Amino acid sequence: MTTESTSAPVGFIGLGNMGAPIARRLLEWPGGLTVCDVRAEVTEPFVAAGARSVTDPAQVATHARIICITVIDDAQVTEVLTGPAGILRTAAPGTVVAVHSTISDRTAQELAARCAEHGVEFVDAPVSGGAPGATQGRLAVMLGGSAAAVDLIRAPFGCFADLIVHAGPVGAGTRMKLARNLLHFISFTAATEGQRLAEAAGISLTALGKVVRHSDAVTGGPGAIMLRDTTAPIEPDDFWFSILGHVRDLGEKDLSLALELGDRLDVDLPLAQLAVARLAEGLGVAHPALDKETP
């Protein structure tokens, strides 16, 4: 680890619900912290804790060589970078700009090209873990950018993240985050479907929630099956064939029982119907492949 990577001054733009707890973890960063937000009052606790506060992104870039951006959307990120008082007006060549906001991967690539014109490195760096993860320093960060830029930001990012993944070139971090959040919100939708079934069956929803959180903490939840390098069908002699075949059998059995219960209680379960139809193929152990192995 180079001296630069452990002492580079850091700037942070956007101290909202997610940005503030991340930035607080950087208050003791040896290179110092400069903060900026359109609401001057939210910077006051940071100043009291020893950070520098400035009024616009261009001023951040005069003090920082690693700049984190946590604002709302693509338009705000673009303004922070390229606007009249944007980072690129003053950023020195070699500055690394990391965007924690979840934006379009195309926007990330377009902004990286703009940054490159100024000798500035752009990294899309969306996070997963929410404000509690940020507060605890346990975020996962998915990085899209050059190896050199990623190496420079690993040390300061270690203040707020305990998992840092270099997903690939610019845009890859965002694409990983979108895939992760697709799973996240489909799971939420599945949770609402499970709640409807439980409610119709006279089951306590809060008790069910306790069981789900408890068992997912033990088993890893949906991430427990995400251990292969490919989604291709699994060959019968592959290590995962019997394991995921067993998962398929259990899943199809339990989904069928849940669907039968839903039919009796007149509860529509469209996600369960999709799941029972697609589970085997999604796991890579579709029925024809398994049936060939059945005596």
Per-residue confidence band for 287, with pLDDT thresholds at 50, 70 and 90: confident
Amino acid letter, residue 161: A
* Residue 136, CB-side half-sphere exposure with 13 Å CA sphere: 11
pLDDT at 7: 85
The answer, yes or no, to whether residue 249 has pLDDT greater than 60, is: yes
pLDDT at 5: 61
DSSP character at residue 7: H
Amino acid letter, residue 178: L
pLDDT tens digits, one per residue of 154-182: 999 999 999 999 999 999 999 999 999 99
pLDDT at 3: 52
pLDDT at 41: 95
pLDDT tens digits, one per residue of 29-56: 999 999 999 999 999 999 999 999 999 9
Residue 114 phi, psi dihedral angles, 5° rounding:
-65, -40
pLDDT at 108: 97
Give me the domains of the chain, ranges plus CATH numbers. 3-175 (3.40.50.720), 227-293 (1.10.1040.10)
Per-residue confidence band for 294, with pLDDT thresholds at 50, 70 and 90: very low
Per-residue confidence band for 292, with pLDDT thresholds at 50, 70 and 90: very low
Instruction: Answer whether 156's CB lies under 8 Å from 131's CB.
Output: no
Pairing assessment for the beta strands 121-124 and 96-99 based on DSSP bridges:
parallel
Residue 289 phi, psi dihedral angles, 5° rounding:
-65, -40
As beta bridge partners, residue 123 has 98
- Rounded (5°) CA angle 89-92-97: 80
pLDDT tens digits, one per residue of 78-113: 999 999 999 999 999 999 999 999 999 999 999 999
Region 253-274: mean pLDDT is 96
Angstrom distance (rounded) from CA 110 to CA 91: 18
Token couple for 63? 């003090």
Token couple for 104? 């379009």
Measured from the Cβ of residue 77, the count of other Cβ atoms closer than 10 Å reads 25
* Cα 157 off chain centre by: 14
33-37, 214-218, 285-289: which has the minimum mean pLDDT? 285-289
Token couple for 281? 């193929």
pLDDT at 295: 43
pLDDT at 142: 98
Report percent pLDDT > 90 for the chain: 94
Angstrom distance (rounded) from CA 69 to CA 150: 16
Report percent pLDDT > 70 for the chain: 96
Is 177 tagged catalytic? Answer: yes
Higher pLDDT, 5 or 56: 56
Task: Tell me the pTM.
Answer: 0.89
Pairing assessment for the beta strands 127-128 and 139-144 based on DSSP bridges:
antiparallel
